[in-house]
Amino acid sequence: MRPNKIKQMWRDGRFVTLGWLSVSHGFTAEVMARQGFDALCVDMQHGTTDMSDVWPMLQAISQTETVPVVRVPWNDPATIMKALDLGAYGIIVPLINTADDAAKAVAACRYPPVGMRSSGPVRAVHYGGSDYLAKANDEIVVMAMIETKEGLANLDAICATKGLDAVYIGPADLSFALGLPPGPDKTDPVHLSTCDKIRDTAHKHGIKAVMHCASAAFAAGSVKRGFDMIMLTSDLASMIAGARRQLDELKAATA
């Protein structure tokens, strides 16, 4: 089976760069995948992507060495299994509140006897290799999003979930949980200390911690703080920033 680069990098003690796809188009996915991210996430929760969009986007990513990841809209086994069958090598599950939630997500990503995933890797076997069914349990990465009051209260138990690979911090919803306005790259001391607590708890249980960022500066700081994967930027954010920069430079040059 094709090795999962994310797991390889983690074993080597390196941090992983993750890009984000909010726009549901194969060409956008291909262009982002060619920029050098270690992994790239198709966002089904808040992006414009439906299940019918996922497989061509995964095909586009698969033209490169970038690892295909999908954030599903909910902790729904059917959706998780379908995304995996289409070739996702990592799954991000939002709004994990309890250890039972985490165990449910893990079970959907693992074949029996470890989990409950149904056999039918219709595209995954072509992407992953002929021995996909035998080795997928060891290669697929499962990440649980910690972003609610309940999730924080059950953090230790969630991180202790057998088979969970990482916890993923959703900074906007986490802000709601902390009574703060949502926003990118939060520097509020309470927010920062909570993220550090999530990281430390994950590491205590031998799993990884992921930070969702919006700028290279904040991402670099997160790496220095010990986070194992950094979501750096999205297709949509990059398009907006690039267009604005060019317009601003034009207006300044012709003022």
Phi, psi of 192 (to 5 degrees): -60, -45
Q: Quickly count: other Cβ atoms within 10 Å of residue 205's Cβ.
A: 16
Contact 168, 146 (CB under 8 A): yes
**Given 25, 46, 203, 205, which residue is catalytic?**
46
- Residue 31's identity, in one-letter code, is V
43 strand-pairing partners = 71
Angle at Cα 13 formed by Cα 101 and Cα 90, nearest 5°? 35
What distance in Å separates the CA atoms of residue 145 and residue 148, rounded to the nearest whole number? 9
Active-site residue, 46 included: yes
Closest C-alpha to 123, from 175, 81, 181, 184: 81
C-alpha closest to that of 16 among 214, 211, 160: 211
- At residue 203, the 3 state secondary structure works out as helix
- DSSP result, 130-176: TTHHHHHHHH-EEEEEE-SHHHHHTHHHHHT-TT--EEEE-HHHHHH
Q: Which two tokens stand for residue 104?
A: 């449910």
Distance CA 7, CA 183 (A): 30
The catalytic residues are: 46
